[in-house]
Structure 1
Amino acid sequence: MAEDLSFRRKPLTPEQRQARDAARRIEAEQAMRDHQEAQRAFHANRERLRAERLAREAAAAKG
């Protein structure tokens, strides 16, 4: 029986492999930067809300 080899991928050349790896590295670095920025924004917002809550609680305790 003859095998159908049409589904197999062609092997990458070393240049193609380097280009693929470089693109993946750039995408991973961008994803990490995006994640870190989202974390900074989350923590800044959490601290802002905490300060507002403490201010409301202090005003309620006085009033």
Structure 2
Amino acid sequence: MNKTTGDIQPSQPITRVEREARKAFRQVEAKQAITDHDAARKAFAKNYERLKAERAAREAASPPGIKTKTKSRVAAKNLKKARIPPPGFT
């Protein structure tokens, strides 16, 4: 399939007014992006503090000396058990 030169139109140069309009729009969009980012950051920080407070309350409510086992501790313990050979195995 051959393209003819009549199908392609050369791009026209951007006028000064169009450049200024694009610049203004970019500035507005940049300010909006910064505002959105700040809002997301504040929401994250607020949620983080809430979860931190909930965890502190849970830990304060649990009896002292009792630690909850995390998945990594349980996995390490099971792995340790799996590596010990059974009695009488040589």
- In structure 2, what is the Cα distance between the partners aligned to 1:60 and 1:21? 58
After TM superposition, the structure 1 = structure 2 runs for residues 1-63 of structure 1, keeping only pairs within 5 Å, are 6=9, 8-61=10-63
The AA in structure 2 aligned to 1:43 is: A
CA positional deviation for 1:10 = 1.2
Percent sequence identity is 47
Flag the structure with larger Rg.
2
Q: RMSD of aligned C-alpha atoms?
A: 1.6
- In structure 1, what is the Cα distance between the partners aligned to 2:25 and 2:53? 42
Gaps of 5+ in 2: 65-90
- The aligned length equals 60
Deviation >6 Å, runs of 4+: none
Pick the structure with more helix per residue: 1
Gaps of 5+ in 1: none
| TM-score normalised per structure 1 | 0.82
